[in-house]
Amino acid sequence: MVLETAANYADVIGGVAVVVSLIYVGIKVNKSTSAIRSSAANDATVAMQSWYLEMGTNRQASDIWLNAMTSQDPLETHDEFQFMMSMHSVLLGMQNSYLLSREGTLDEEFREAVTTAIVAVKDLPGMSRCWNQRRDFFHREFAQYVDGLLLQESIETLDMYKRSDAEPDQ
């Protein structure tokens, strides 16, 4: 009888230990998921920040970017190539944010904040030229997502891309 009672106590203690273990594992998984999401958001932010920093501190890159985005016609071959590679790079960063949000690693609101830049430049000739040439290089779902963004109503770009004919290129 004493052995049977001890076995019952051992079963109860074992059951409690399993429940405590599962709670512990659940907490660790939750913290790990949170860390992964934070890392993904940080990586996406750093990628976009690096691109914007390059555009903001490299006069040659920003001149080519602005000229290509606002020009109806392609730029001289090397400048147009540099623009296309830069544009493709930023779109790859946006695609990464899109795919990470689709799988739940990155917050959808963050993805929307990143990709809103597409809506801001969607009516510029350089965006159209780039998207028409490079669309098929992207993940099919991301390309469809961008197509949807291009159909949205334009948003104000803070006059960043508006240039008067009297304004000389520097």
Give the separation between CA 73 and CA 60, rounded to whole angstroms: 19
Q: Could you read off the pLDDT of 93-149 as tens digits, one per residue? A: 999 999 988 988 888 888 888 888 899 899 999 999 999 999 999 999 999 999 999
**How many other CB atoms are found less than 10 A from the CB of residue 55?**
16
Q: Nearest CA to 93 among 120, 109, 77, 111?
A: 111
* 72 or 17, which is more confident: 72
The one-letter amino acid at 97? S
Predicted confidence at residue 138, as pLDDT, reads 97
Give the separation between CA 60 and CA 34, rounded to whole angstroms: 40
What angle in degrees, to the nearest 10, is found between the helix axes of 125-134 and 108-121?
120
* 164 or 2, which is more confident: 2
Q: Around 93, how many Cα atoms within 13 Å sit in the side-chain half-sphere?
A: 24
* 169 or 77, which is more confident: 77
